Amino acid sequence: MANTYSSSLRLIIQQDGTNQGTWGGYTNTNIASLIEQAITGVGAITVSGSSNYTLTVTNGASDEARNAVLNITGTLTAAINVICPTAAKTYIVKNGTTGGFAITLKTSAGTGISVPNGETTFLYCDGTNVVRSLSAISGIPGAFTTLSASSTVSGVGFSNYLASPPAIGGTTASTGRFTTLTATADSTFSSTGAVQVSAGTTAQRPTGVAGKIRFNSTLSQFEGYNGTTWGTIGGGATGGGGNQVFYENSQIVTTSYTITSGKSASSTGPITINSGVTVTIPSGSRWVIL
C-alpha cells in the first residue's frame, strides 16, 4: 500500500509492512524536517503589487504553509489576501511589506484576519476560517515605551486611567506632575487650603502671555502679564502683624513705560529714571510723585 499523509501537517503515514529498507528515511523526513519546520520554521514569503498569494502545499516534503512563522515581505500597491490550507494549524504572521497595506491570512473559502502593515500577529486556522489565537492577556505586569491601539480600548483599568477626560490619580486623591495642564472650561479648586503658583525672580520671568500669573520673589509680590507688560496683582497694602497700611513702590524706573491713556498714576519719591528710559504721559493724564 502507498504512503498516506496527515491532514494538518501533511506528514508521511507509512502503512504496515511497507517501505522495507526505506522506512527510516521517511521517519527522519517526518521528524527532522517536517515537524521541525512546523514548530520552528520561518517561511520567507515574497508578495507584490495587488495580487493575492497562495501558500505552497506539498505532501511529505517542505512547503510554505507548514512553517510556524510567515515573514511576508515585498512591495504592495493594495491590501491582499494570503491563502493558507483549510487545515487546523497555528501561524505567526509578520507583515513586513512596504507600501503601507494590510495582509489578510485566510482560507480559500473562509474568512480571515487582517494584519496591519508593520505588525506581527498570532493566528490559527480552525479548519474553516483563520481566527485570532489570543483575544486577551491578563495578569501580566509590564512597562511600555509606546502603547497604541487601532480600535476601542476597554476595561476597568483603561476606563479609570485612559478615559476622556482622564481621571487623575484614579478614583482616589493622588499626586502627579504635568508640563502643561490645559482646561477647556471653568476650573474649581474647592479645598480650604491654597494653590501654590510659580515663583521666581524678576530675571526669571518667563515669556509673557496674557493671563499668566506668578510670584515675583525679587519684589515680594504677585504679578500678572496683561499682554504687554508684567504688573502687580492683588496684595493691596502691607504691614506688620497683618496690618494693611503701607503701599510700596520701587524708586528706579529701569524700563520705558507709557501710562495708560485716560488714566493717571502716582508714585512716592524719590524717583530716578535711568538713562535711555522714557516715561510717556498721554495727553490728559498725570503722573504725581509725592
pLDDT tens by residue, the chain, 290 residues: 788 988 889 888 888 888 888 888 888 888 888 899 999 999 999 999 999 999 999 998 899 999 999 999 999 999 999 999 999 999 999 999 999 999 999 999 999 999 999 999 999 999 999 999 876 555 566 666 666 776 666 666 555 555 555 555 555 666 666 777 777 888 888 888 888 889 999 899 999 899 899 998 987 888 888 888 888 887 667 777 767 788 888 899 999 999 989 999 999 999 999 999 999 999 999 999 99
**How far is it, in rounded angstroms, from Cα 88 to Cα 191?**
62
Q: Which residues fall within 8 angstroms of residue 131, CB to CB, at 6 or more apart?
A: 113, 123, 124, 125
Q: Is the pTM of this model over 0.85?
A: no
Q: Which domain, by its residues, includes 211? A: 196-248
Q: Does residue 260 belong to any structural domain of this protein?
A: yes
Same domain, 18 and 125: yes
Q: Please, what's the largest Cα pairwise distance for the chain?
A: 123
DSSP assignment, residue 195? P
Alpha helices in the chain (DSSP H): 23-28, 36-40, 156-161
Same domain, 211 and 243: yes
Residues in the chain: 290
Q: Where is the domain boundary, 107, 132, 157?
A: 132
The domain total for the chain is 3
Q: Does residue 60 belong to any structural domain of this protein?
A: yes
Task: Specify the pLDDT at position 166.
Answer: 52
Task: Specify the pLDDT at position 96.
Answer: 95
